[in-house]
């Protein structure tokens, strides 16, 4: 539960003032030259879950926030937000295992390729840093994919390789559940970090040029990855644990090691991962909903009536672009300005978001806030895209250096 003082402070936090004309002009110029590369967006699953995977029936050229079940992503808002490239998450729930997990992942990949093909004036598939640069110059949004959980390869490195062939450029080693070969941050450990097979997964990802994503994994798994990888890693959508004590967030000692590895931490926008006050409020909200047999899954005016009544006397703490900026600055201080990026998690956070960054048009608010705090154009450009592009190029270079090595044959497949 929130303490009375914490609740008062959280509710009183004002939204940042709109950027002054000079700052707004500076941000517009900067993001036009250095469009945002976002590390994580869950639109494919939302299309599957709420639109029956009927991609062509969903018009992404219109404002999807007006749909009966609103989305946070559409082409007009991506343009307004200066998004130049997006890693689309081809996530499936962690309870889908075995061959079915592979089938579902292929279906998710199909969804991405279909909405890209349905909007050829806006999107183009990309597979490399050079592709991103070329596609951005054409005025389109480069589209890449990330598999969000090692359960999706069903313990087969052959499946990992074929995902790469289909355009997947990172894999999150676990989602919410631990695997026999890697531990999740939100589950009991099974491997104590990485099993021998888990180390083979990392080695094969290095060999083929797939980025190792350490969001969702346990601290022990993260440390193990950093000790064996030959290439920089990414945390596609994670924030700083020092500011919000979520297991999914990264502690300072590991932030520093990611910086030393040359990797990048892409800050998540989910209020529960950036605001301790919001996280505490959400736990109290969920506990109340459970006590009265109501669902806590839906936020906003469509929430269950008992939950709305509870919220009337327990107002939601304010989360804004300033909250996100706090995490960006903390990670930059610990890991270095060259090791920070953005991984919003839009359309994977139940419609929640910072109040002035409710969808993919919200990035300029964050850049304006950081500009007000004294960030240089060079550091802002690195945050927007330069840092993740450097990681991609290094991952590609490591793969090139390993091109003569044969595929890894798993010796202890779980």
- Residues noted as catalytic: 40, 42, 148, 175, 216, 237, 345
Query: Which residues share a beta bridge with 142?
Result: 85, 124
CB 342 within 8 A of CB 36: yes
Closest among 240, 231, 216 to 261, alpha carbons compared: 231
Q: DSSP string spanning 200-258?
A: HHHHHHHHHTPEEE-TTB-HHHHHHHHHH-SS--EETT--BTTTS--TTSB-HHHHHHH
Distance CA 143, CA 32 (A): 18
Closest among 389, 334, 282 to 37, alpha carbons compared: 389
Give residue 226's Cα distance to chain centre.
19
Closest among 91, 43, 31 to 70, alpha carbons compared: 43
Three-state DSSP class for residue 41: strand
Query: Which residues share a beta bridge with 85?
Result: 37, 142
**Which residues are within 8 A (CB) of 360 and not within 5 positions of it... i.e. 6 or more apart?**
38, 41, 72, 73, 74, 77, 78, 81, 83, 344, 346
Between the CA of residue 344 and those of 1, 8, 86, 304, 397, what are the distances in Å?
Answer: 26, 27, 10, 26, 27
């Amino acid at each position: 539960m929130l303490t009375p003082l914490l609740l008062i402070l959280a509710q009183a936090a004002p939204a940042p003032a709109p950027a002054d004309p000079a700052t707004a002009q500076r941000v517009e110029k900067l993001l036009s030259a250095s469009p945002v590369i976002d590390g994580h967006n869950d639109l494919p699953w939302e299309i599957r879950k709420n639109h029956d995977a009927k991609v062509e029936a969903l018009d992404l050229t219109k404002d999807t926030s007006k749909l009966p079940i609103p989305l946070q992503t559409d082409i007009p808002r991506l343009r307004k937000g200066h998004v130049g490239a997006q890693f689309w998450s081809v996530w499936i729930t962690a309870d889908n295992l075995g061959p079915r997990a592979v089938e579902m992942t292929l279906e998710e990949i199909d969804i991405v390729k279909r909405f890209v093909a349905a909007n050829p004036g806006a999107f183009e598939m990309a597979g490399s840093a050079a592709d991103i640069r070329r596609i951005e110059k054409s005025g389109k949004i480069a589209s890449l994919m990330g598999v969000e959980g090692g359960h999706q390869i069903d313990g087969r490195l052959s499946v990992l390789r074929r995902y790469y062939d289909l355009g997947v450029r990172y894999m999150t080693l676990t989602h919410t559940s631990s695997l026999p070969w890697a531990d999740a941050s939100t589950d009991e450990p099974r491997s104590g970090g990485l099993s021998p097979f888990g180390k083979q997964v990392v080695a094969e990802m290095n060999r083929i040029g797939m980025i190792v994503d350490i969001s969702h994994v346990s601290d022990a798994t993260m440390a193990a990855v950093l000790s064996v990888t030959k290439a920089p890693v990414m945390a596609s959508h994670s924030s700083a644990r020092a500011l919000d004590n979520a297991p999914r967030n990264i502690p300072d000692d590991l932030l520093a090691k990611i910086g030393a590895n040359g990797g990048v931490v892409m800050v998540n926008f989910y209020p529960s991962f950036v605001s301790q006050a919001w996280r505490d409020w959400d736990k109290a909200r969920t506990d109340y909903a459970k006590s009265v047999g109501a669902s806590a899954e839906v936020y906003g005016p469509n929430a269950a009536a008992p939950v709305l009544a509870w919220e009337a006397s327990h107002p939601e703490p304010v989360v804004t672009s300033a909250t996100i900026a706090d995490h960006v600055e903390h990670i930059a201080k610990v890991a270095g300005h060259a090791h920070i990026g953005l991984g919003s998690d839009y359309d994977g956070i139940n419609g929640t978001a910072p109040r002035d960054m409710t969808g993919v048009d919200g990035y300029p608010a964050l850049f304006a806030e950081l500009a007000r705090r004294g960030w240089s154009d060079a550091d802002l450009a690195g945050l927007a895209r330069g840092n993740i592009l450097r990681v991609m190029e290094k991952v590609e270079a490591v793969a090139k250096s390993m091109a003569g090595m044969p595929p890894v044959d798993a010796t202890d497949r779980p």
